Amino acid sequence: MRNKSIYACMDIKDGRVVKGVKFSDLQEISDDPVSLAKKYEAEGADYLVFYDIGATVDKKEIFYDKIEEILKAVKIPLLVGGGIRSLADCDKLYELGVRQFSINSAAIRNPGLLKEVSEKYGPESLVLSVDVKKLGDRYHVFLGAGKEDTGLEAKAWLEKCVDLGAGTLVINSIDSDGTKGGYDLPMLEALTKDVDCRVVASGGAGKKEDFFELFQKNEKVTGALAASIFHYGLVSIKEIKEGLEKFTKETEAEITVNKRKVETPKNDT
């Protein structure tokens, strides 16, 4: 668990931080994303995520000025998504200092964009974000803030995107989003089984134990993204990081003890 990462996410609309439940009933969290970003960095977040949902849903220009402010205020990596429609958008973000581009809707409309971005900036810079909802016994990819069923089968889509150059997958469960009921472990198990890249789970975190359970039960998952749990102060990033460190030490100690028991020869006399 030492290599697991915590992603603090800010959904941005009209320059303000908002959050809803299952992509609906958006509530304003803060009118100052820069201060919130500094707070999450101070608590120990490994990554900040800036999702400009207004740029995607309302087809507005990305809030470049707000992104630039955040980049000047914090030193941890900033992953930016929402409103990226072309390689030129990535070029502009790169000039500001962004090194990870999260693409969702544009990839579905133009899968070739993933290859363009990956070839220019490398797989480590290309993040494929996907919103998934269960329909019967299948998982489908959705667009439009979880309202538009693309008809794409999620697992096949993820595999295709990895082939096109995505180095990280952020898989968000619409069914769990904002519910604080825990990560969607069955969905993650079904979609990540044969995926060969970094995987970040999103949607549903409500307590620190949810993070421990996620990392313990799905070795493919390298990072956990959360928003509500941090916004509402249900648990701090520092608590989660300390808990993961403690859990790791206890697990390693148990493994060491069990190993010694196996290696110690039995006394037959």
Is 210 noted as a catalytic residue in this protein? no
Is 131 noted as a catalytic residue in this protein? yes
- Which one-letter DSSP state was computed for residue 32? -
Quickly count: other Cβ atoms within 10 Å of residue 264's Cβ.
Answer: 8
Structural tokens at position 269: 């006399």
Q: One of 11, 177, 184, 210 is an active-site residue; which one?
A: 11
**Residue reference for tokens 């990560």:** 183
Nearest residue to 114 via CA among 92, 85, 143, 155:
85
Tell me, what amino acid is at 124?
A: E
Q: One of 25, 46, 91, 131 is an active-site residue; which one?
A: 131
Yes or no: say if 145 and 11 are a contact pair by the CB < 8 Å rule: no
- Which one-letter DSSP state was computed for residue 166? -
Q: Which residues are catalytic?
A: 11, 131
